[in-house]
Amino acid sequence: MEKIIEAVNVSYIYQTKYQKTQALSEVNCSFERGRVYAITGKSGSGKSTFLSLLAGLDVPTEGTLYIDGQDMKKLDRDAYRRKRASVIYQAFHLFPLLTVKENVMFPMQLQHISGKAAETRAEEYLAKVGLSDTLSGKRPGMISGGEQQRVAIARAMASGGEILLADEPTGNLDSQNEQVVIELLCKLAHEENYAVIIVTHNEAVAAAADVVYGMSDGVLTVVRGEIQA
């Protein structure tokens, strides 16, 4: 299988006026499409920092992050974020004043897909995440947390990307909704060929992942799985 992302000796340092924090130290790993990855580790170990590099929000201080073999520093990172990599969060981050369907249409509108086509595709994505038509006209505040996270996943799919990044996606969900979201993320990887990368404390999420990485003081190790770049 193709490596879609490869980290080679990736380090990241937060430099403020008075202090330097080494958040990542020479991280080496790779990610393939069709697989679910969990990144576990204590609070402050560097997980979110790594996820933000994978999301193209910043670039490594040292080392190289390759996307399809291309150095992230040389990529158009705005286009990467718009079209290839989407992030979902613990707190869902849906647009509160847009309806469910409008939330899912939003990334397509950024890509100038016409209203009608975007609407049809939004309906397809909502069906894929198991949400019924009756929800599509509601605002996020009127639906449950589990449903909101499924809308966020549908919106991520609508960006057309093949990389789905998630920061504690089940952190706000009860165990039943947690299971639905886990199954959906696995389906995205195994049936739709996404690379799904999940930062999590949740044992059930880690158990469902194909590969588990552990982060400790900015150092990444393989906890379970065969891949190490």
Ligand X SMILES: Nc1ncnc2c1ncn2[C@@H]1O[C@H](COP(=O)(O)OP(=O)(O)O)[C@@H](O)[C@H]1O
- Residues in the site for ligand X, rule: CB under 6 A? 14, 16, 21, 23, 41, 43-49
String of b and e for 44-69 (b: at least 16 CB within 10 Å)? ebbbbbbbbbbbbeebbeebebbbee
Residue 120 DSSP SS3: helix
Interacting partner of 137 out of Mg ion, ligand X, none (Cβ under 5 to 8 A depending on kind): none
Nearest-approach distance from CB 22 to ligand X, in angstroms: 8
* Cβ closest to Mg ion, residue 42 vs residue 74: 42
Interacting partner of 21 out of Mg ion, ligand X, none (Cβ under 5 to 8 A depending on kind): ligand X
* Cβ closest to Mg ion, residue 48 vs residue 61: 48
- C-alpha pair distances (Å), 202 with each of 57, 119, 167, 217: 25, 34, 11, 19
Cα dihedral 218, 226, 177, 125 in deg (nearest 10): 100
Nearest-approach distance from CB 86 to ligand X, in angstroms: 18
Interacting partner of 41 out of Mg ion, ligand X, none (Cβ under 5 to 8 A depending on kind): ligand X
Interacting partner of 99 out of ligand X, Mg ion, none (Cβ under 5 to 8 A depending on kind): none
Nearest-approach distance from CB 94 to ligand X, in angstroms: 22
The rounded distance, in Å, linking the Cα atoms of 137 and 134 is 7
State the pairing for strand pair 211-216/85-89.
Answer: unpaired
* Cβ closest to Mg ion, residue 102 vs residue 167: 167
* Cβ closest to Mg ion, residue 48 vs residue 64: 48
- Residue whose C-alpha is closest to residue 52's, from 39, 36, 35: 39
